[in-house]
Amino acid sequence: MPTLSPQVSFLLRGSGLLIGLLTIWWFALLNPMLYGLRVAASVFVGIEERSSGDWGVRVGLDATIPANDERPQSQTIGSIDFDIPRSDAIAFTFSVPVFWAMILAAPGPIRRRLRPLLLGTIVMASIEVLLLLVFVQVTARNVLAQTYGIESAAGAWGRRLCEYLVVNVLPYVTPVVVALCIDRQLSRAVTSQLRA
pLDDT of the chain along its 196 residues, tens only? 568 887 888 889 999 999 999 999 999 999 999 999 999 999 999 999 999 999 999 999 887 777 777 767 777 888 999 999 999 999 999 999 999 999 999 888 888 899 999 999 999 999 999 999 999 999 999 988 887 777 788 888 999 999 999 999 999 999 999 999 999 888 887 777 666 5
Say what the pLDDT of residue 139 is. 95
Phi-psi region of 159 (alpha: psi -120 to 50; beta: other; left: phi over 0): alpha
Say what the pLDDT of residue 1 is. 54
Say what the pLDDT of residue 74 is. 79
Integer Cα distance of 180 and 194 in angstroms: 13
DSSP characters for 39-91?
HHHTTTSEEEE-TTS-EEEEEEEEEEEPP-SS-SS-EEEEEEEEEE-HHHHHG
Integer Cα distance of 33 and 70 in angstroms: 45
Residue pair 60/78 in contact (Cβ under 8 Å)? The answer is: yes
Say what the pLDDT of residue 51 is. 95
